[in-house]
């Protein structure tokens, strides 16, 4: 391990300190607030005293937000981030925006690149136009924007080399967000973990579900490495930015920790400590999202933010939740 990555590993074990109070913001608009990250973030903001308005078209349902409707400071607007009038109405009276609305992940964007571009890029432009350089926008981008690098160590200054439609769209959206002037951009590590609006298409979530329900798992590229971040830590990163916006404004931050850098084989091993299942490591196939590098998280760590939920604890939660959920697979018993 290099000195740089060793430094990241040590400092990332510290606990994030959140200042008391809400900072200068009171009312927050969360676009895509009914999604995987949003349904974890919105209750956190309400708990910390913010008023929250969610704008979501509910493409994946809205059950994850049901507990929020009993909260006095919560509002919900059903609408499309691509619709100018809807967005302008949703922006009235808010102090800041957390922009999550997106078609997320390279498989979904590859399946319908026209739709994903219209939401991920055109929708972001509508939002930025409505913000008008006056309302800060906190944006969820991705480490996928770095693509496949010649250099193995990436900082926020590393040139981007997006490979997938998803990554290319996020790069376009980042450019639009920067034009707003008032912004914070987060390039997140790969998400995982339990959220009120669950996703099982994320690697640790998928592996855990299959181990619990199917009792077997076929894994290719067993040594494939990626850095992960728990979905609740993603929510905490936005809370941290709202409370520290004055010293974070106008900047891009990688969000994650090298303590959370795992191979597929290592994740399978953690699951197998709790679940008895069969693993076959195959010699064929490859991952279509060819990210292969180490990301520096020093910039955000140096401000005092450190992800706190380990892969082990996240998998323990996933095992418990997987027992409650049954996904009907028509091909499983065909």
DSSP line for 215-267: SEEEEESTT-EEEEEEHHHHHHHHHHHHHTHHHHTTEEEEE--GGGEEEHHHH
Is-contact 182 131, C-beta < 8 A? yes
Long-range contact list for 146-151, CB < 8 A, 24+ apart?
A: 146/187, 146/291, 146/293, 146/295, 147/290, 147/291, 148/290, 148/291, 148/292, 148/293, 149/292, 149/293, 151/293
By C-alpha distance, which of 183, 33, 27, 21 is closest to 95?
A: 27
Per-residue pLDDT of the chain (334 residues; tens, 9 = 90+): 333 443 444 444 577 767 666 668 999 999 999 999 999 999 999 999 999 999 999 988 899 999 999 999 999 999 999 999 999 999 999 999 999 999 998 788 888 889 999 999 999 999 999 999 999 999 999 998 988 765 667 899 988 888 888 999 999 999 999 999 999 999 999 999 999 999 999 999 999 999 999 999 988 888 888 889 999 999 999 999 999 999 999 999 999 998 898 999 999 999 999 999 999 998 765 655 555 567 899 999 999 999 999 999 999 999 999 988 877 654 444 4
Largest CA distance in the chain: 57
Q: What is the pLDDT of residue 150?
A: 57
Q: What is the pLDDT of residue 291?
A: 58
Please report the domains of the chain, with CATH numbers, ordered by start residue. 3-192+228-259+290-308 (3.40.50.720)
Q: How many CB atoms lie within 10 A of CB 210?
A: 21
pTM greater than the 0.85 cutoff: yes
Residue 22, both tokens: 């809400």
């Amino acid at each position: 391990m290099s000195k740089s990555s060793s430094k990241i590993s040590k400092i990332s074990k510290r606990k994030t300190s959140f200042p008391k109070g809400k900072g200068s913001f009171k009312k927050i608009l969360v676009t895509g607030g009914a999604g995987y990250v949003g349904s974890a973030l919105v209750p956190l903001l309400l708990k910390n005293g913010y008023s929250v308005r969610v704008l979501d078209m509910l493409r994946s349902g809205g059950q994850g937000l049901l507990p929020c409707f009993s909260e006095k400071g919560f509002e919900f607007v059903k609408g499309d981030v691509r619709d100018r009038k809807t967005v302008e109405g949703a922006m009235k009276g808010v102090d800041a925006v957390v922009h999550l609305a997106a078609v997320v992940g390279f498989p979904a964007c590859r399946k319908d690149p026209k739709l994903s571009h219209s939401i991920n890029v055109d929708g972001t432009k509508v939002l930025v136009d409505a913000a008008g350089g006056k309302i800060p926008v906190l944006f969820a981008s991705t480490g996928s924007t770095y693509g496949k690098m010649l250099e193995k160590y990436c900082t926020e200054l590393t040139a981007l080399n997006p490979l997938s439609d998803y990554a290319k769209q996020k790069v376009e959206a980042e450019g639009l967000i920067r034009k707003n002037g008032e912004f914070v951009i987060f390039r997140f590590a790969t998400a995982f973990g339990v959220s009120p609006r669950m996703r099982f298409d994320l690697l640790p979530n998928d592996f855990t579900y299959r181990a619990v329900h199917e009792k077997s798992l076929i894994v290719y590229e067993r040594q494939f490495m990626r850095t992960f971040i728990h979905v609740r830590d993603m929510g905490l990163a936005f809370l941290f930015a709202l409370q520290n916006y004055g010293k974070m404004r106008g900047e891009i931050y990688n969000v994650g920790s090298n303590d959370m850098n795992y191979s597929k084989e290592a994740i399978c091993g953690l699951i197998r400590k709790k679940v008895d299942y069969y693993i076959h490591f195959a010699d064929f196939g490859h991952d279509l999202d060819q990210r292969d590098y180490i990301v520096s998280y020093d910039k955000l760590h140096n401000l005092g933010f450190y992800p706190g939920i380990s892969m082990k604890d996240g998998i323990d939660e996933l095992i418990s939740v997987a027992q409650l959920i049954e996904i009907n697979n028509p091909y499983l018993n065909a």
